Amino acid sequence: MIAIVAYGLGNVQAIANIYRRLNVEARLVSTSEELRAADRIVLPGVGSFDWAMEALARSGLRETLDELVMGERRSVLGICVGMQMMARKSEEGTSAGLGWIDAEVKRLPQADGLMLPHMGWNDVEPRAASPLFEGLDTDARFYFLHSYYFLPNDEGVVIAAADYGKQFACAVQSGNVYGAQFHPEKSHGWGIRLLKNFAEM
Amino acid sequence: MLRPRIIPCLLVHNGGLVKTCRFAEPAYVGDPVNAVRIFNEKEVDELFVADIDASVRGAEPDYSLIANLAAECRMPLAYAGGVRTVEQVERIVALGVEKVAIGAAAIATPEFVTAAAGKVGSQSIAVVADVRKAVDRYEVFTHNGARAARRTAEELAAWAEQAGAGEVIVNNIDRDGMMTGYDLDLVERCRQATGLPITVLGGAASLGDIARLIARFPIIGAAAGSLFVFKGKYRAVLINYPDRTAKTRLMGTGSGKVEPR
Amino acid sequence: MTERAYRICVSCVMDTSDSAIVFDEHGVCDHCRTFETRIRPGWHTDARARAELDGIVARIEAAGKGRDFDCIIGVSGGIDSSYLTWLAKTELGLRPLVFHVDAGWNSQEAVNNIERLIEHLGLDLYTHVIDWEEMRDLQLAFFKSGVSHIDTPQDHAFFATMYKFAEEHGVRHILTGANYSTECVRNPLEWMYYQSDAIQLRDIHKRFGTRALVKFPTTSILRHKVYLPYVKGIRVERPLNYMPYHKEEAIRLLTEKFGWQPYPQKHFESRFTRFYEGYWLPTRFGYDTRRVQFSSLILTGQMTREEALKKLESPAYDPETIAHDKEFVATKLGISVEEIESFHSMPKKTYRDYRSQSSIYAIGAPLMRLLGLELGGKR
């Protein structure tokens, strides 16, 4: 069973709908108890870093998440700000992140009059053969909407890169912790495939 | 390579979809949910839904409609209509809407834009400029074109970036529903005024108009209402959108490199 | 009253789910006999028929001279109306206006198919959009009435709108894709009654509707079978009956020519009809419209009885998607899935439980046949 963390933001309904149509058991969870029942966890997110961290704190799920993800090593997929929250900190705000991956979140450099936020459909290049990108090795594209990017200390966690002003990590994996900077729940067939992969890998 | 976005724009009036001409004479187009479904299946890049009553009436946005649309959309959704407070913005974003577009409130209470962006992030806040051409200036109006805002499109675009918004949506009142092409001069002025992503709406009559816009501005949002909703000389309602092949042709051989300011 | 023992026709696949079915001493049902004795003798698809069609075409062209279009073709996005449109333009040389009624349930394939049709054939399109709030209320009224013909609002709106348009614009000729080839066996009255019965529609609306029917278009049987043709001279033609019409070939032709998208089953252009015929009718009433469609194809040599029986072994709906389809219908109608399910278990009613013009139909149908104006007909 996939737990979609409902902590007040992120398109939880769209993710739930996708899983329902795929006949994958998924539930919106807002209590620790419901969260514990999950095999895998999706942590969605839209909005600013601090706003998201605050919402997560208010939800009362933070401790259980840490326990399940870092303690019991259950698989988790962070989406957009959900992925950024998994870093230690972000230039966008002052809150501390979850620290599940040794990384920082920095603002995309605005050289050459680059438009920010990075908004729209962009190509994604899977790097290592990650089960998350099964069937998505060629012609994969997803919708991006962000001004900050994930910068891990260890390049080895990068499983896919995208190019906007600079090459940056748009998907990462550190053990059981996965992150996607783009919005798979808003990326039509490509996103559906990725979410399916996360459920089945 | 980042692609330009091709965006159907749906207007909601009394809970139903309508299409206007120069912001007047709303013609009934049907049920929003079915339209969104069909656009979903056509894999559109992004959808823009504007509630044309909300601003004028000062009413709350129709959250239940927004929730239904957001849950149905497999692509990003931007919503506009009657958004005036940070609480409303937070609520709409929490329903699963990627971007909230602010029009009248950006003029009336500009600090609200900054406050909202501070909460939900710049990427989720767009400023809408409804404009009319007056001699050589593009003047901004609010309340479905009824009230003059006393500033130009470029001024609003430049200000939007300072205020913390993440996108500027330029809506051409004169060309709304007229299908006489995009006003590229207006786009150029806004492009010069801001480094924010820009979406243009009003006037697109054919995929050719979109192609011309993209050829001149390789990274842009090309939005259209009539084009994706009507067909032919009787303006018959028929939801349509270019398929992948047609879209690739539209985008030409652009390198995707951003234009220097 | 004892339940009738199950029996199926030896020739087609109609069975006792049609409670009015009658079998002869060979086990052949009355649908088949009606086809053999009343339809087939009068239905020609050879040179003689072609000559007749040419005459009709000439009349249409003459009446339409100097006008933007000479006839209207009602299209749903389905194969019959799509093929007819292609035929009318490319083979018959007519200048049709493609006419579509949007009742809010168009599938993506239907919309796509209509678009491809008009783009490739260079035809004009006119769409009438039914007011959704009224449509929704009327559909819910039909659910609440407990009858089996709950798709009446869509069908009724389609015909009413087309006739209204024809009358208002002085269009004398309407072409429809109705055909014997795939429709010689009709849905039993018990299953779908007459969609054109405005008295029934209004009575059900009066009892179960919650808002006035103001914009919703209505027609009536006398209006479009008597008044419009004989007083206003508006004729409805069925060109597909004047030539050999093979459904599979038609699909292949359109798919090859302009990327037409086939549907899994007849009438699936509308997401509501898909739900209604695929799920609602079979599971609530035991009426499977595939029996009717396959029987027509069997009688016209486009399907074998074995093939039909095999297909009928699996459900008419897709078990993978039915939960989602139900949800879609419920959400769109603004009710919960629980409410839909409560309608599903309501006591069953028939058209006789509400006011109707069935007596007029009872006189009119045989009269039309007697006058040679129609072959076959519903029962």
Asked if the interface predicted TM-score (ipTM) of this complex is over 0.85, the answer is yes
Greater confidence (B254 vs A115) lies with A115
Work out whether strand A26-29 and strand B125-134 pair parallel, antiparallel, or are unpaired: unpaired
Q: Is the backbone peptide bond immediately before C282 cis, with ω within 30 degrees of 0? A: no
- Which one of the listed residues B62, B130, B176, B209 is annotated catalytic? B130
pLDDT over 70 for what percent of chain C? 97
Does the pLDDT value for residue B259 go beyond 50?
no
Does the pLDDT value for residue C185 go beyond 50?
yes
Look at residue C266 in the predicted model and tell me its pLDDT.
65
What's the rounded Cα separation, in Å, for the pair B30 and B13?
Answer: 10
Alpha helices by DSSP H, listed for chain C, are: 30-34, 47-63, 79-86, 108-121, 132-145, 152-168, 180-183, 189-192, 198-208, 221-222, 247-258, 271-275, 289-299, 305-313, 322-333, 337-344, 358-370
pLDDT in tens, C282-302: 999 999 999 999 999 999 999
Residue keyed to tokens 């007229």: B178
Does the pLDDT value for residue C367 go beyond 90?
no
Does the pLDDT value for residue C370 go beyond 80?
no
Interface test with A, best of B1, B2, B198 (most A CBs within 10 A): B2
Q: Are A39 and A77 in contact (CB under 8 A)?
A: no
For the segment C139-156, the average pLDDT, to the nearest whole number, is: 96
Are residues A11 and B123, on separate chains, in Cβ contact within 8 Å? Answer: no
pLDDT digits (tens), chain A, 201 positions: 999 999 988 788 889 989 988 989 999 999 999 999 999 999 998 888 998 999 999 999 999 999 999 999 999 999 999 999 999 999 999 999 999 999 999 999 988 878 999 999 999 999 878 999 999 988 899 999 999 999 999 999 999 999 999 999 999 999 999 999 999 999 999 999 999 999 998
pLDDT tier for residue B253 given thresholds of 50, 70 and 90: low
pLDDT tier for residue B34 given thresholds of 50, 70 and 90: confident
C97 CB neighbours in chain B (<8 A) are: 234
What's the rounded Cα separation, in Å, for the pair C379 and C27?
Answer: 19
**B11: which 2 tokens?**
């207007």
Residues 6 or more apart whose CB falls under 8 angstroms from that of C23 comprise C7, C9, C29, C30
Name the residue of chain B whose CA is nearest to A49's CA.
B121
Q: Does A191 touch chain B (CB under 8 A)?
A: yes
**B45: which 2 tokens?**
């890049």
pLDDT tier for residue B254 given thresholds of 50, 70 and 90: very low
Closest CA to A122 of A87, A167, A159, A86: A167
- Chains B, C: CB contacts under 8 A, how many? 62
Look at residue B255 in the predicted model and tell me its pLDDT.
43
Look at residue C308 in the predicted model and tell me its pLDDT.
97
Q: Is C130 helix (H, G, I), strand (E, B) or coil?
A: coil
What's the rounded Cα separation, in Å, for the pair A73 and A173?
Answer: 13
Q: How many helices (H) and strands (E) does chain A have?
A: 6, 13
Q: pTM of this prediction?
A: 0.86
C271 CB neighbours in chain B (<8 A) are: 34
> Nearest CB to B232: which of C102, C118, C133?
C118
Are residues B238 and C111, on separate chains, in Cβ contact within 8 Å? Answer: yes
Look at residue C376 in the predicted model and tell me its pLDDT.
65
Rg from Cα positions in chain B? 17
DSSP bridge partners of B16: B13
pLDDT tier for residue B25 given thresholds of 50, 70 and 90: confident
What's the rounded Cα separation, in Å, for the pair C154 and C106?
Answer: 11
C108 CB neighbours in chain B (<8 A) are: 37-38, 41-42
Does the pLDDT value for residue B257 go beyond 70?
no
Q: Which domains does chain B have, with CATH numbers?
A: 5-251 (3.20.20.70)
pLDDT tier for residue C56 given thresholds of 50, 70 and 90: very high
For chain B, helix, strand, coil in percent to 5 are: 35, 30, 35
What's the rounded Cα separation, in Å, for the pair A108 and A164?
Answer: 8
**B87: which 2 tokens?**
């609480």
CATH superfamily of A2-200: Class I glutamine amidotransferase (GATase) domain (3.40.50.880)
pLDDT in tens, C337-356: 999 999 999 999 999 999 99
Q: Is C33 helix (H, G, I), strand (E, B) or coil?
A: helix
Q: Which domains does chain C have, with CATH numbers?
A: 45-370 (3.40.50.620)
Q: Residue C147, Cα to own-chain centre: how many angstroms? A: 18
> Nearest CB to B28: which of C114, C118, C129?
C129
Look at residue A72 in the predicted model and tell me its pLDDT.
95
pLDDT tier for residue B43 given thresholds of 50, 70 and 90: very high
For the segment B79-98, the average pLDDT, to the nearest whole number, is: 92
CA C321 to chain A, closest CA, distance in angstroms equals: 8
Q: Are A194 and A180 in contact (CB under 8 A)?
A: yes
pLDDT in tens, B162-213: 999 999 999 998 888 888 899 999 999 999 999 999 999 999 999 999 999 9
Helix crossing, B184-193 with B207-216: angle to 10°?
30
B38 CB neighbours in chain C (<8 A) are: 106-108, 111
pLDDT in tens, B4-14: 999 999 999 88
What's the rounded Cα separation, in Å, for the pair C179 and C177?
Answer: 6
Q: Are A186 and B40 in contact (CB under 8 A)?
A: no
> Nearest CB to A145: which of B119, B123, B258?
B123
What's the rounded Cα separation, in Å, for the pair C330 and C333?
Answer: 5
Q: Which of B229-233, C81-85, C326-330, C374-378 has the lowest mean pLDDT?
A: C374-378
pLDDT in tens, C91-135: 999 999 999 999 999 988 999 999 999 999 999 999 999 999 999
What's the rounded Cα separation, in Å, for the pair B83 and B104?
Answer: 8
Q: Residue B143, Cα to own-chain centre: how many angstroms? A: 15
For the segment C163-176, the average pLDDT, to the nearest whole number, is: 92
Look at residue C145 in the predicted model and tell me its pLDDT.
98
What's the rounded Cα separation, in Å, for the pair A145 and B123?
Answer: 6
- Our answer to whether residue A125 is catalytic in this structure is no
Residues 6 or more apart whose CB falls under 8 angstroms from that of A71 comprise none
Greater confidence (A13 vs C175) lies with C175
Does the pLDDT value for residue B228 go beyond 90?
yes
Name the residue of chain C whose CA is nearest to A20's CA.
C324
- Which one of the listed residues A118, A146, A170, A185 is annotated catalytic? A185
